[in-house]
Amino acid sequence: MTNLIYFHWMRPLKILLAGAFVSASIVSPGSGEVWANSDNNKIATAIQTLKQSDQRWIQINLSKQNLIAWEGSNPVYAITISSGKRSTPTRIGTFKIQTKLKKTRMRGRGYDVANVPHTMYYQGGYAIHGAYWHNRFGTPVSHGCVNLAPNHAKWVFDWADVGTPVVVQK
């Protein structure tokens, strides 16, 4: 397979890889007990497991507003996204692509958009999809979905199958 990584992602990718396994812990001053941040630990464990496989998977980093398509430990495609705005955030966690639709209509409070291209639902109404109605990639502006430029959405749609793991992290 041809490597389609955009070279301007190479430096941030190294930082991403270095920080992928960092998790936070909270120490209770009264008892000395340590509680691990379970979401961060689950995400870190999922990433570590996926990198040790040869499986295709998608990593979405909300703080960097990027999506990386992986085959095991090899990144094969990296792009800028637009995730959910503060009032309608994108959920973090580990998911799997449940449904793929070449085009669909999306409706919700304050929006009704026809012909949304290359939509991949991964949890309830949350999806990775093309967004032809804006060009603000790199900025959280969606209603919780992961927006991609239509040409990038097509690439990811064609590459991923139903069941492909999706890891969304802060």
As annotated, the active-site residues are 129, 145
Give every CB contact of residue 161 below 8 A, 6+ residues apart in sequence: 56, 97, 100
Distance CA 98, CA 68 (A): 19
Q: What is the distance, to the nearest Å, from the Cα of residue 28 to the centroid of all Cα atoms in its chain?
A: 32
Q: Where are the beta strands (DSSP E) in 54-164?
A: 56-61, 66-71, 74-80, 93-96, 99-108, 111-123, 126-130, 146-148
Check if the beta carbon of residue 139 is closer than 8 Å to that of residue 35.
no
* β partners of residue 104: 116
Compute the residue count for the chain: 170
Q: Helix, strand, coil proportions of the chain in percent (round to 5)?
A: 20, 40, 40
